């Protein structure tokens, strides 16, 4: 099989590296999901011309080899199986990793740039991309675009789609196009174009215009969503923007080569309120109470996450990049909680920001006073930035701790990104807990964005056991049914991948999923890009590719 790729190098004009050795293929067979799919080839394209050559070569050979496809990959942190497939994996981190420029409120970069590197440069200029994820030390900008990512500041700032200004994309005809916001006159010019670009605009405009009410009514009303194609974001009758559609498409419509993204100037001052819950009885009311004071971030993590952090305290301190002895003192109260059995069931952390430290602090005192009076909870205001950081590190690094330090069990993110409306939490959470209680053998952690009612439930499972694997579709169906009962989204920020694509019709119904299929066919009629994601998915295929080794 691997011999079929050699002509791409010899005569196809591809200049980058190409690897078909077994160790490389195994390395790229997994991302951060429960799945394992061994590719046939891994390529590291050097530039846009390489990507154009790659797409044209696949298109030319697709009829003879129908299984040929291209899946874009950067850091491989996708938790739904979106970055793995059985044909060609195109790794963008090796060569598409340059920040091209910063403007007064924007930046231009390639998709393989790691967010941690980008953030370091943006902060030097007093700028920030605020939709960063909890895994911001690991993921890339390309992955954020692919998944329509969000995170702790999305409560105040929104998702990645709200910051994308322009995308350069290689489409299925092997040519590169630029997508961004168009006014009505500019749209008219695009509709008159001959060739593939004009056809894309004509067909997509017709699809969205003819189904405008249906699409508008299908838009999830939760604060965040990354399920399906974001058709409702494209046209508001004044502007037309296909970059909004490509954002969150998981590389199923084309290959992004360059990103122009809007940035904000973060508030210079912040204070952190920590709230310790003995149980989840009043969580909905507590969230509603604190959210009324407009925190910029409102996060949570549970007792399992807390205990894990204390168990591997040296690792946590290392992630804070400080002295082991000095920082160890910061964690003494948490260590004491663990030793004395006083670990709270859930910890909420609410960050308030602004320009004036005293004003922020006075607001925090008001929040603290109301929470203590109404719910009789233990609270704490972080005294220093270093003290606040320890809570953020526990929240952000919880999934990585699970992945790296659990032996005999694997992290199984398959109900990991549900979101409802915050005012529904008092009704929703007891029903969710009742479902989870049906699986007493299941160990899991809960963390997430309390202010958005967006929770990440990560079970720990022995995926070598067939009976454990069979829990996955049953529990997923139960949880997703509950989420949809409350008009929520099955994925707020992690996207569909292999794990949730089969449930899109359950969420959106057959008419909208048919529009998803038509959208895919307009952009990618040969199914070149990342097949089995968004459309053409199969729960049977997903189940058959759950990894069976740790």
Note the pLDDT tens digit of each residue in 24-47: 999 999 999 999 999 999 999 999
527 within domain boundaries: no
User: Of the candidates 94, 125, 150, which is a domain's last residue?
Assistant: 94
pTM of the model: 0.93
The answer to whether position 300 is within a domain reads yes
pLDDT digits (tens, 9 = 90+) for 464-514: 999 999 999 999 999 999 999 999 999 999 999 999 999 999 999 999 999
Residue 238 exposed, middle or buried by CB count within 10 Å (0-12, 13-18, 19+): exposed
- At residue 273, the 3 state secondary structure works out as strand
440 shares its domain with 292: yes
Instruction: Kindly state whether residue 442 falls inside one of the protein's structural domains.
Output: yes
Mean pLDDT of the residues in the chain: 92
Look up residue 411 and give its DSSP letter. E
Identify the bridge partners of residue 302 per DSSP, sorted by sequence position. Answer: 346
Which of helix, strand or coil describes residue 532?
coil
Please report whether residue 371 resides in a domain.
yes
Distance of alpha carbon 499 from the chain centroid: 13
Asked which of 186-200, 307-321, 449-463 is least confident by mean pLDDT, the reply is: 307-321
Question: Is the same domain home to 274 and 254?
Answer: no
What distance in Å separates the CA atoms of residue 312 and residue 310, rounded to the nearest whole number?
5
Q: At which residue do the structure tokens 């969420």 appear?
A: 507
Same domain membership, residue 358 and residue 372: yes
The most distant pair of C-alpha atoms in the chain lies apart, rounded to whole Å, by 74
Residue 194 lies in a domain: yes
pLDDT for res 13 = 86
Q: Is the confidence at residue 167, as pLDDT, over 60?
A: yes
Q: Please name every residue paired with 447 in a beta bridge, in sequence order, or none if there are none.
A: 301, 456
Residue 508 lies in a domain: no
User: Of 94, 121, 147, which closes a domain?
Assistant: 94
Q: Which of 94, 125, 152 is the last residue of a domain?
A: 94
pLDDT at 423 over 90: no
pLDDT of residue 1: 42
Query: Tokens for 335?
Result: 């260590």
* Statement to judge: residues 57 and 115 lie in one domain: no
pLDDT tens column, 170-189: 999 999 999 999 999 999 99
- Model confidence at 377, pLDDT cuts 50, 70, 90, reads very high
The Cα 38–Cα 535 span in angstroms is: 21
CA-CA distances (angstroms) from residue 204 to 164, 208, 509? 19, 6, 20
216 and 304 part of one domain:
no
CATH of the domain at 383: 3.40.462.10
Q: Assess whether 127 and 203 both reside in one domain.
A: yes
């Amino acid at each position: 099989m691997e011999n079929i790729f050699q002509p791409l190098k010899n005569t196809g004009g591809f200049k980058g590296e190409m690897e078909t050795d077994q160790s490389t293929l195994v390395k790229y067979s997994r991302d951060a999901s429960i799945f394992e799919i061994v590719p046939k080839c891994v390529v590291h394209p050097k530039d846009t011309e390489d990507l154009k050559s790659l797409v044209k070569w696949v298109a030319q050979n697709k009829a003879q080899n129908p299984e040929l496809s291209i899946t874009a990959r950067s850091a491989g942190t996708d938790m739904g199986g979106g970055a793995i497939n059985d044909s060609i994996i195109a790794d963008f981190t090796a060569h598409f990793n340059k920040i091209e420029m910063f403007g007064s409120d924007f930046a231009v970069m390639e998709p393989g740039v790691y967010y941690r590197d980008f953030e370091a440069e943006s902060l030097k200029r007093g700028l920030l991309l605020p939709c960063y994820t909890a895994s911001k030390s690991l993921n890339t900008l390309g992955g954020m675009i692919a998944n329509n990512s969000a995170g702790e500041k999305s409560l105040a700032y929104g998702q990645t789609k709200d910051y994308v200004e322009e995308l350069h994309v290689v489409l299925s005809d092997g040519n590169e196009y630029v997508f961004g916001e168009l006014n009505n006159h500019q749209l008219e010019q695009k509709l008159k174009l001959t060739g593939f670009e004009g056809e894309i605009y004509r067909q997509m405009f017709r699809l969205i215009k003819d189904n405008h009410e249906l699409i508008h009514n299908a838009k999830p009303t939760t604060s965040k969503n990354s399920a399906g194609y974001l058709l409702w974001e494209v046209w508001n009758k004044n502007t037309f923007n296909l970059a909004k559609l490509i954002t969150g498409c998981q590389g199923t419509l084309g290959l992004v080569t360059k990103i122009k993204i809007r940035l904000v100037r973060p508030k210079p001052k912040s204070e952190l309120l920590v709230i310790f819950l003995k149980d989840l009885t009043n969580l909905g009311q507590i969230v509603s109470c604190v959210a009324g004071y407009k925190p910029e971030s409102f996060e949570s993590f549970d007792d399992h996450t807390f205990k894990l952090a204390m168990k591997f305290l040296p690792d946590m301190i290392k992630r804070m990049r400080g002295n082991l002895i000095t920082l160890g003192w910061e964690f003494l109260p948490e260590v004491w909680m663990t030793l004395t059995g006083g670990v709270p069931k859930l910890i909420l952390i609410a960050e308030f920001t602004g320009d004036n430290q005293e004003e922020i602090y006075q607001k925090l005192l008001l929040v603290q006073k109301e929470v203590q009076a109404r719910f009789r909870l233990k609270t704490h205001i972080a005294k220093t930035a270093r003290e606040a950081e320890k809570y953020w590190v526990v929240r952000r690094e919880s999934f990585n701790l699970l992945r790296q330090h659990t032996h005999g069990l694997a992290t199984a993110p398959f109900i990991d990104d549900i979101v409802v409306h915050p005012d529904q939490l008092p009704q929703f959470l007891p029903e969710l807990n009742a479902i989870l209680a049906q699986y007493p053998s299941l160990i899991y952690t809960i963390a997430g964005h309390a202010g958005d009612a967006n929770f990440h439930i990560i079970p720990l499972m022995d995926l070598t056991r067939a009976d454990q694997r069979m829990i996955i579709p049953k529990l997923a169906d139960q949880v997703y049914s509950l989420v949809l009962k409350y008009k929520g989204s099955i994925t707020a920020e992690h996207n569909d991948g292999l794990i949730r694509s089969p449930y899109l019709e359950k969420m959106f119904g057959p008419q909208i999923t048919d529009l998803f299929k038509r959208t895919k066919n307009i952009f990618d009629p040969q199914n070149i890009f990342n097949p089995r994601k968004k459309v053409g998915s199969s729960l049977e295929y997903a189940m058959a590719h759950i990894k069976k080794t740790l």
